[in-house]
């Protein structure tokens, strides 16, 4: 077994990311249906079919500014039309209900979004352990750029500060406690044992293109937000300073470059594609660490192309 990795280097729409993910999901569901047709008594066995199961696949990309919220949460806690109008005012950001779990969050340039489509039963991993695996994979990825992180009682990945060294850090103006600064949101969906969606890892506060910069204004309330960085004033500062991310009052959002993963918070500490490649490696290691004792290991990561899933669309 290998882990396939599809990285999209250009910005794509959130809808296009779902189309790619749905194509991956359909491969997994089609295989399950084929197995069930050959062996209706024990559909978990592949002994009666000569076809091989699809490899687990990681899809990594960055999207246009988009606010998303889990559909189940949206049903229980509706976001009013006036709130949606605020989020999407002047066409500066989109709003989408998502099949993933979780509350309101934000995706934009400068963030690496990663969806992992895999058969949990094939790996012998529970949904709860899968989320833990994703969190730990993100933590190791951040560690590659010497940004120390941790898990807390709240979902996602959070900054872990060494208080003794805090004043020596180039970003010591950050006054929030480590447990209050979130660097990665996590939300997954499991259907028929297949997991989808995944992580939103904030890498850098990507600057606005000159042609759009005048449209993205910061209110005084936004400038008071701990998610706002006055040095970079980019997509992440703008989008996260407008909301209570993931419904966690009193918390803020941060990114690798802001936490010492780069000297300039508006510039990536490295190419986002490099972060994606490191994350892919860590997911492979995480699956192997978490898998059931008798389950097959993931031997390597390999790249696939967008054309392997969808015809050219021009998105």
Binding residues for substrate: 100-107, 185-187, 198-200
Neighbouring CB atoms inside 10 A of 64's CB total: 17
| Nearest Cα to Cα of residue 17 among 137, 117, 86, 128 | 117
| Nearest Cα to Cα of residue 62 among 236, 213, 210 | 236
| Nearest Cα to Cα of residue 241 among 260, 256, 254 | 254
Cβ contacts of 221 within 8 Å, gap of 6 or more: 241
* 3-state SS class at 188: strand
Instruction: For the chain, list the strands marked E by DSSP.
Output: 3-12, 57-63, 66-70, 94-98, 105-107, 111-119, 149-150, 157-159, 181-191, 194-202, 252-253, 301-303
CA atoms 137, 30, 73, 15: torsion sign:
positive
| Cα 287 from Cα 290, distance rounded (Å) | 5
Residues making up the chain, counted from first to last: 315
184 burial type by CB count under 10 A (0-12 exposed, 13-18 middle, 19+ buried)? buried
Enter the DSSP assignment of 214. Answer: G
Q: Given the structure tokens 């020596």, which residue do they identify? A: 168
Cβ contacts of 242 within 8 Å, gap of 6 or more: 86, 87, 222
Please enumerate, by residue number, every residue annotated as part of a binding site: 100-107, 185-187, 198-200
């Amino acid at each position: 077994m290998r882990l396939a990795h599809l990285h999209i280097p250009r910005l794509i729409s959130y809808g296009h990311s779902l189309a790619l993910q749905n194509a991956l999901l359909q491969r997994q569901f089609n295989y399950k249906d084929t197995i069930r047709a050959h062996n209706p008594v024990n559909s978990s066995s592949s002994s009666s079919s000569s076809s091989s199961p699809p490899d687990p696949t990681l899809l990594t990309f960055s999207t246009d500014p988009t606010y998303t919220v889990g559909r189940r949460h949206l049903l229980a806690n509706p976001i009013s039309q006036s709130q949606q109008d605020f989020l999407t005012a002047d066409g500066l950001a989109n709003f989408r209900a998502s099949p993933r779990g979780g509350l309101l969050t934000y995706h934009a340039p400068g963030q690496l979004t990663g969806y992992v489509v895999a058969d949990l039963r094939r790996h012998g991993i529970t949904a709860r352990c899968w989320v833990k695996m994703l969190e730990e994979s993100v933590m190791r990825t951040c560690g590659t750029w010497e940004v120390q992180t941790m898990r807390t009682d709240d979902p996602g990945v959070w900054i872990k500060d060494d208080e003794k060294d805090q004043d020596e850090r180039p970003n010591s103006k950050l006054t929030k406690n480590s447990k209050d600064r979130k660097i990665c949101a996590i939300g997954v969906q499991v259907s028929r044992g297949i997991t989808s969606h995944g992580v939103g890892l904030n890498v850098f506060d990507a600057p606005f293109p000159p042609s759009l910069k005048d449209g993205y204004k910061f209110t005084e309330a936004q400038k008071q937000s701990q998610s706002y960085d006055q040095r970079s004033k980019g997509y992440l500062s703008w989008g996260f300073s407008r909301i209570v991310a993931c419904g966690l009052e009193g918390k803020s959002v941060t990114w690798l470059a802001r936490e010492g993963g780069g000297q300039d918070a508006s510039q990536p500490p490295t190419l986002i594609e490099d972060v994606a490649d490191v994350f892919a490696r860590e997911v492979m290691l995480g699956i192997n660490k978490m898998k059931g004792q008798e389950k097959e290991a993931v031997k390597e990561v390999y790249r696939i192309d967008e054309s392997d899933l969808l015809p050219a669309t021009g998105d």
